Structures are given as structure tokens and as C-alpha cells.
Structure 1
Amino acid sequence: LSGLGYAVSRQEFETEGVKVRNLEVRRTGPGAGKARLVVIGAHYDSAQGAVGADDNGSGVAALLELARLLKSVQPAEGLEMRLVFYVNEELPWFATEKMGSLVHANGLALGEREVVAMLSLETIGWYSDAPGSQRYPFPFNLLYPSTGDFIGFVANPRSRSLLHRVIGSFRRHAAFPSEGAVGLESIAGVSWSDQWAYWNFGWPAVMVTDTAPFRYPHYHTLRDTPDKLDYDRLARVVLGLESVVRDLVIAAPSN
């Protein structure tokens, strides 16, 4: 990140006596005062007992590539892009005060910052063309395709407007299958990543995902290794996301 010309900031805190940190880089548009924020994030920890290539090495790799592609981006006046690498997303830290993304979101709230859009890159590297390769929690199983060849965009009801904007931008720029879903946070999988932290403060946030355990047979196991990933499709998704982020930082989403 430093080699790309970014100044890397570290948000350090302790968990059980161990210093851990979120890493962040940013690009700020012109204008005085506190810029409104577009946050793109991915967690860099893996589940205990798992290698973590898809969850979430794929998300981290995507965020690093977005940092490279967007290093010269100029956000619009009053907007700031932040790329954040989170610690402590997995259990036992998920949904606790030591969850990295919650620490980050809480810091923004304490600083009276406004997040106008957040994208969580969560497990985005495994795809299948086999019929029946995709599963869902109810009621999504009644509505969506049974082949796991798409990238998913998932939002809570409050983030519906952002979801429509994000998936619309992705479909304009990327020749890649995509599905969007709005669901209650109580539905299995809907809140299972770092977007949850921002929802807690009422900010619009969308998870970008291959749906993880609902598709990927090696989720949270020692078999989640780099050879399992589909790098061609992952690269195509990242190029689509580059365009999405550019659209978001050129003009603030209306919530």
C-alpha cells in the first residue's frame, strides 16, 4: 500500500492482551469540513482451523487490487474514499466490541463522521456452473437461481437504495452474473460480515459475496486453499467493483 503512494494509518487496540490493528488508506476530495465517507472494507483474519483462501483471502486480494486501480482516483467535493483492512471479524470476535469493523465504525461515529456507502468484500472467489451448486436460507431459496455462478450483493432494508445503485453500476460495467438481495438481519447469512458493524450506526452498507457456506464446500476448513479459487472470475468481479467504487466517489449516494 505504501508502495502505491498511500499513507497507511493503523487503528490499534488490544484483544486479550494482544495488540491488533485495522489498516486504512484514503483518498479525499476537495472542500473544507468533514468529508462524507465511502468505505470499502475486507477482513484479513480467517476462522480458527481454516486456511482462509476464499474467506477471506479473496476479499483482501480484491481490496489490494482496488487500491492499485484507484490510487489516482479523485473523489468529488466533500467525499472521501477509505479502504479498510479489518482484524477480528471471525469468531470469537464477531459482533463483539473487539470486532475490527465495529471498532472502526465506532471511531467514525465518535468523530461525528457520516458514512454514505460501505461495501464489505466477503468471500468472493468461488464459483460453480453445476446445477444445484447454490443453496439459500429461506425465503431466498424461493427467489434465486440454483447455480452458483454469480456474485451476490446483500443489504438490509435500510440499505436498499445503496444496493440498487451498487448493483446497477456493476451491471453497467461488468459482463458477469450478479444477484441482489434485501433481507432482514435475522435471516441466516445476511449480517455475517463487516457490513453489520455499519448497520449498527444506521449507515447504508452492502455485502459483496459468493455466499460463502451457501455455495462453497470448503468454507471454514483446512481445505479452503488457494487452488480452490477461480481467479479469472474473481478478476472480472474486481474490475466491476472498481467501476462501482468510482461511481460512488464521483457523486454521493442519496440514502
Structure 2
Amino acid sequence: MAIAVRLRWCLQIFMLEACVVLTHAANLDYLRSTLTNYFSDTRHHAVKPEYKQRTATFIHDEFIRFGLETTYHNFVFDGVEYANIIGVLKGDNFGTYDDQIIGVGAHYDTVNVTKGVDDNGSGSAALLEVARQMTSLESKRKHTVIFTAFDREEYEYATFDGRFYGALGSKYLISQWLLPWIQKNYPQTVGTFSPYGIIVLDTLMDYNNSARSQIIPPDSLQEFQQLFPGVVKNLQSDNLQGDFLATIFRTQSDSRLANEFHQQWGKMGRADYEIEMFGLAPNLPDDVLNKVADLNRSDHINFWAKNIPAIFLSDSANLRGKMQDCYHHTCDSLEVMLNDDNLNFLAKTSDTIAATVDKLSQSYAAVSGAPGVGKTVLTLMTASSICVFLIQTASRL
């Protein structure tokens, strides 16, 4: 028994010193200060252009500080210039057929009447936190990662396939920057390029575990039951609590990305912060899709239109809690949205995104071996598996 106690104690010390380094843990102070200082006021070109520019400059400068290859993508619409901000973290396979790019993106602009802390200060803060985490680890990766802050997502009159939607920044980024960039850097893969896809973040921090804080639109209940029977059953059995992150994806095209995110979410603890998977089957009729249009209301729709895999993460915006009243209104503010539950919910989401991107980009660390052995390559995910094994072993002693 004494030997077992000593072994368990040694394993616990080792895990404290080694395993914690390999797990993702969001910096709550960074998330809070980012939201407070740069995403707490209107970011609209005609209302507060100075604040919006200050936010864009901050994102750009943070990308540079994190060591990303950073650039503005400027585009013009209706005589006004806008700016997407792009940061590239190149992998070993950059420019080759073997590279499988993964992206993370969030829009940073707002409508003209809101402070936009949840929509979409939360997604932008998570984008920066993921970039911070991934570049703070002493690691390399095989596949390239692209971080993108989209401008002019909030545009209510652009149309696609007869539907009203926004997302102008991502639309122009794909056609004017991403596709030419791929043709330039991956000329041998044109027509066969197969990225992992992009994780789109939009409104992420309205957590509410009160009964009936989550809405299923009454006029769409039949369609939700038809398309997502498991989700509806879960919500109804949980008294319609708004305590989950919604993951929206196409079952035929985006499952690889969605399933990896779902697995990583389960490893992050805090089981009270739940997840629901909204998988859209292929070839759904327009009348059904129109009934669940809230699931198509962000930048992911433009990637879907170009057959690029994408998943959309959201707290469901105006279908939940305080955002039922505050979506696109002045009360989407620090006073209403910034609290400990919301911040920790955003932190778990950020950690899960970082772990997902780390796994798919195949990150690895160079570990010095014994004298004369040279360097050994140890993947971070393998190291994490070792830690899980040690934790399980210690718990059995």
C-alpha cells in the first residue's frame, strides 16, 4: 500500500509538471481584456469608424505579435472600403499536395445600433485566444492554419440563391484572396485541393441554464424535429436550457471537422457546458431550409457555396436567453453579457477549437533526447494520450 501511495504521488507530481503544459487552457484575463478594450462598442463603418479601425488594428497587431504571416485584404462595396484581416501559420507541408489547410474565422464588425459584445466580440476574442494558444506552444505542425477576421458580415441586403444574408467579407475574401492565394502557393493541386475546412465563430458567450431560456421557433418546430430529432429530444428533456454550444454542419461534407470538434469538446471538462450537433442532410428542399434559416446566418454559408468544408459554432444568438432581447440591440453590452459563466463558456469553446486545430494540423514538439541520441519528434496529441494514461493509472492506485 505504501508503494502504491508513493507511486500515485509521483505520478501526480509528474502530471502537474508535464501534462498541464500539453493541455489547452484559455487565459481568462486575455479574453476579458480583449472584450473590454476592443469589442465593447459599435464597430460600424458609418457610426463609429474610429473604434472599428482601432479594433481592426488590434487584431492585425496581435496576429503579428503571435508570429503569423499577416495581411489585410481590402475590398470595396457601394463605394466604401472594408478590411478582412488574415494571419497564416505555415505548416511543414505548406505549398505541397500533402497540405490540408484548416481555418478559423470570425467577423469583427457590428450592426449600427449595438455594442456587439456577443455578436461578435465573443467570436473575435475566441479567434485571438486560439491564435495565442497555438503560437505560445513550442511546437510545429504539418498542416497550415489560417486565422481570419471578417469585415462586413452584418449586411442585411446581399442575396445568395434567393435568400437574404450578410457575410460580404467572407464572400470577397474567398474570391479575391483565398482562391488566388491557393492557385499561387499550391499550383499543382488546382482542382484537387482538399482542405480540412474552416471553423466559423459567431455569437459564442450567452450561456443560460435557466429552464425555458432556449427557444425553438414555434413556426419551425416541425422542421427542427424532422432535421434534428436528437437535438430536440435533448432540449425538451433538459427543460429547454440554453446551456449548450450549437455546432452546425453538413453531414455529407463537414462531418470530419464536426466530429473532431465534438470529440475534443468532451475532453475539456465542465460537463455543465454542453454541446448539440445540428447536422444538415444533403439535398434538403428550399422550403425546409428556409424554416431553419437561423442556422445559415453567418460566414460559413459562403464556404459552403464554394464546396469548402465549414462548421458554424454559435450560442444560437436571438434564440437564447438575454440575446432574445439584445441581438442587434444596444443591450448586447459588457454590462449584460460579461459575467463569469459566459466567460468560462467562451473559454471552453476556445480551448476546444485550439485542441481541434492542433489535432488536425498535426502539431508536434521537438524534444531533446539523451546525449548522442539527437532529437525525437513527439506529437502533442500523443503526449496528451500519455498523460491520460497516467491519470487513469494514478486513479486506480
1:16-59 CA distances to partner (integer Å, 9 max, x unpaired)?
22221110111111135263320100000112322111000000
1:221 is matched with which residue?
Answer: 329
1:64 is matched with which residue?
Answer: 128
Structure 2 CA distance for partners of 1:69 and 1:143, relative to 1, 3 Å: same
1:36 aligned counterpart, secondary structure? coil
2:303 aligned counterpart, secondary structure? helix
Matched, 1:109 2:179: yes
Structure 2 CA distance for partners of 1:65 and 1:222, relative to 1, 3 Å: same
Structure 2 CA distance for partners of 1:95 and 1:28, relative to 1, 3 Å: farther
Task: Indicate the structure with greater helix content.
Answer: 2
Structure 1 moving runs of 4+ over 6 Å: none
Structure 2 CA distance for partners of 1:179 and 1:201, relative to 1, 3 Å: same
Opposite residue 276 of structure 2, the aligned amino acid is E
Please state how far the C-alpha of 1:100 moved relative to its aligned partner: 0.7
Higher mean C-alpha displacement, 135-144 vs 153-162: 135-144
Please state how far the C-alpha of 1:172 moved relative to its aligned partner: 2.4
TM-score between the two structures when normalised by the length of structure 1: 0.88
Structure 2 CA distance for partners of 1:92 and 1:7, relative to 1, 3 Å: same
Q: Is the 8 A contact 1:127 1:149 kept in 2?
A: yes
TM-score between the two structures when normalised by the length of structure 2: 0.58
Give the one of 259, 282, 285 matched to 1:164: 259
1:118 is matched with which residue?
Answer: 198
Higher mean C-alpha displacement, 10-19 vs 228-237: 228-237
Counterpart-to-counterpart distance in 2, 1:228 and 1:194: 25
1:20 is matched with which residue?
Answer: 82
2:118 is matched with which residue?
Answer: 54
2:42 is matched with which residue?
Answer: none
Counterpart-to-counterpart distance in 2, 1:99 and 1:167: 29
Give the gaps of 5 or more residues in structure 1: none
1:152-207 CA distances to partner (integer Å, 9 max, x unpaired)?
11112332332222212221234331111113554221211111111011111101
Counterpart-to-counterpart distance in 2, 1:118 and 1:6: 17
1:8 is matched with which residue?
Answer: 70
Opposite residue 309 of structure 2, the aligned amino acid is P
Please state how far the C-alpha of 1:75 moved relative to its aligned partner: 2.4
1:196 aligned counterpart, secondary structure? helix
Please state how far the C-alpha of 1:5 moved relative to its aligned partner: 2.4
Opposite residue 89 of structure 1, the aligned amino acid is E
Q: Is the 8 A contact 1:37 1:117 kept in 2?
A: yes
Give the one of 52, 65, 75 matched to 2:141: 75
Higher mean C-alpha displacement, 140-149 vs 7-16: 140-149
2:115 aligned counterpart, secondary structure? coil
Count of residue pairs the alignment pairs up: 249
Higher mean C-alpha displacement, 90-99 vs 161-170: 90-99
1:78-134 CA distances to partner (integer Å, 9 max, x unpaired)?
x21000000011123655698111112223234345432210011001111111001
Give the one of 96, 102, 105 matched to 1:33: 96
Q: Superposition pairs for residues 73-152 of structure 1, below 5 Å?
A: 73-76=139-142, 79-92=143-156, 95=159, 99-106=168-175, 107-110=177-180, 111=183, 112=190, 114-136=194-216, 137-138=220-221, 139-140=223-224, 142-145=232-235, 146-152=240-246
Please state how far the C-alpha of 1:62 moved relative to its aligned partner: 0.7
Matched, 1:177 2:274: yes
Q: Is the 8 A contact 2:154 2:167 kept in 1?
A: no
2:300 is matched with which residue?
Answer: 195
Matched, 1:235 2:347: yes
Higher mean C-alpha displacement, 131-140 vs 117-126: 131-140
Structure 2 CA distance for partners of 1:212 and 1:203, relative to 1, 3 Å: same
2:105 aligned counterpart, secondary structure? strand
1:245 is matched with which residue?
Answer: 357
Opposite residue 88 of structure 1, the aligned amino acid is R
Matched, 1:205 2:271: no
Higher mean C-alpha displacement, 21-30 vs 33-42: 33-42
Q: Is the 8 A contact 2:167 2:299 kept in 1?
A: no
Counterpart-to-counterpart distance in 2, 1:132 and 1:191: 23
Q: Is the 8 A contact 1:27 1:75 kept in 2?
A: no
Q: Is the 8 A contact 1:20 1:87 kept in 2?
A: yes
